[in-house]
Amino acid sequence: MFDLLVTNAALPDGRTGMSLAVQDGKFVAVDAGLLAPAHETLDAQGLLVSPPFVDAHFHMDATLSYGLPRVNQSGTLLEGIALWGELKPLLTLDALIDRAMTYCDWAVAKGLLAIRSHVDICDPRLLAVEALLEVKRRVAPYLDLQLVAFPQDGVLRDPQGMDKLKRALAMGVDVVGGIPHFERTYEQGALSVKLLCELAAEQGKLVDMHCDESDDPLSRHIETLAFETQRLGLHGRVTGSHLTSMHSMDNYYVSKLLALMAEAQVHVVSNPLINITLQGRHDTYPKRRGMTRVPEQLAQGLTVAFGQDCVMDPWYSLGSGDMLDVASMGLHVAQMTSQAAMRQCFDAVTINAAKILQLPAYGLAPGCHADFVLLQARDPVEAIRLRATRLKVFRRGQVIAQTPASTATLQLPGRPGSTAWMA
């Protein structure tokens, strides 16, 4: 007898009428029309069952700090950077933990069960590192939290930058981070990429760098990142986040760059919500959109994910932890409106992001963890369109969050008594 049997489910790959059987926290069967005894049976009623959402790029040490010590009135990157500098001396361990735990509650309610969070290591106390390692411990039963050692001010700008990054890794941080375009010169940026990739190779770590988050077409650190990935044999272990400068590069150079990235198997994370508001600030018209070249990267065979980046922090006063909101913005800005492309945007916040984080046993197949979401939608496109309600969220086959279906009661002559916005 199964622990749980989900019947009549639609899956993201287009299969319908599917059953998913769960035993001991894992899927043991995924078949059409499977009927078998189970301690609990859930009729999905033709709605979408998806693997959990995954956020491949976030800053949990700053989340929910909106208004501290003051509001970012301009909504600009520069004021956000200044605000974070003002806030850091005021941070306390307990406040960092409390805000992060609250955000994790939001995430779980939205079906977001894995997050890669960058954590600022510029403070010599490494207070944020200590706080997020404690959060990682607390949420481990229900959420996978992966941490990136992020030298936010530039690892070579700070004489102790590399030492602090190594300390963070020794404390238990998972991934080597960097921000080469924020170093003082292009040469220093390229050197930082080389040194950080060598460190990751020595310690067997993954790499995720804030890379070329700029409108500058000469910000070409992704080229160095791909080269070092290939030189050191880090294929499939390296991610370039943002890469917004690619929207300013000429097509001839990009054609060579994409080929190099594909050879190195560099992953890409785009953060559409934040980047399209922060980039293009120096343009009059035409304005650049602040996205990397997502369709071209996907066509080259690269793994591309979308990240939330910020939620109610010094840089971004909005956000709710909803990865479908991120997918929708990415879809629109990247002009990915074909049926296939819209489904790729759903993949960008699920399976692609999971691949980048190297999450074990992720997916809807026998042997995978029984982590999944029942959405009030019939397919991925409808889920994005509606920002579909997460009716039930499961972790290892157990419900950990649920939300009532979104419906409106109508009082209109000759019309139905309710609607759920599903045509």
DSSP string, 135-199: HHHHHTTT-EEEEEEE-TT-TTTSTTHHHHHHHHHHHT--EEEE-GGGSSSHHHHHHHHHHHHHH
Structure tokens at 26: 């894992």
Cβ contact 147:173 at 8 Å: yes
Cβ contact 145:175 at 8 Å: no
Tell me the C-alpha to C-alpha distance, in Å, between residue 179 and each of 191, 198, 243: 11, 15, 11
Distance, C-alpha 135 to centroid of its chain: 18
Structure tokens at 336: 């990915």
Determine the 3-state secondary structure of 279 from DSSP: coil
Cβ contact 371:51 at 8 Å: yes
Q: How far apart are CA 312 and CA 59, in angstroms?
A: 11
Active-site residue flag, 213: yes
Rg (CA), the chain: 22
Q: Which residues contact 360 (CB under 8 A, 6 or more apart)?
A: none
3-state helix, strand, coil in the chain (%, to 5): 35, 25, 40
Of the candidates 213, 223, 228, 382, the residue annotated as catalytic is 213
Q: How far apart are CA 235 and CA 181, in angstroms?
A: 22
Distance, C-alpha 124 to centroid of its chain: 27
Residue numbers annotated as active site: 213
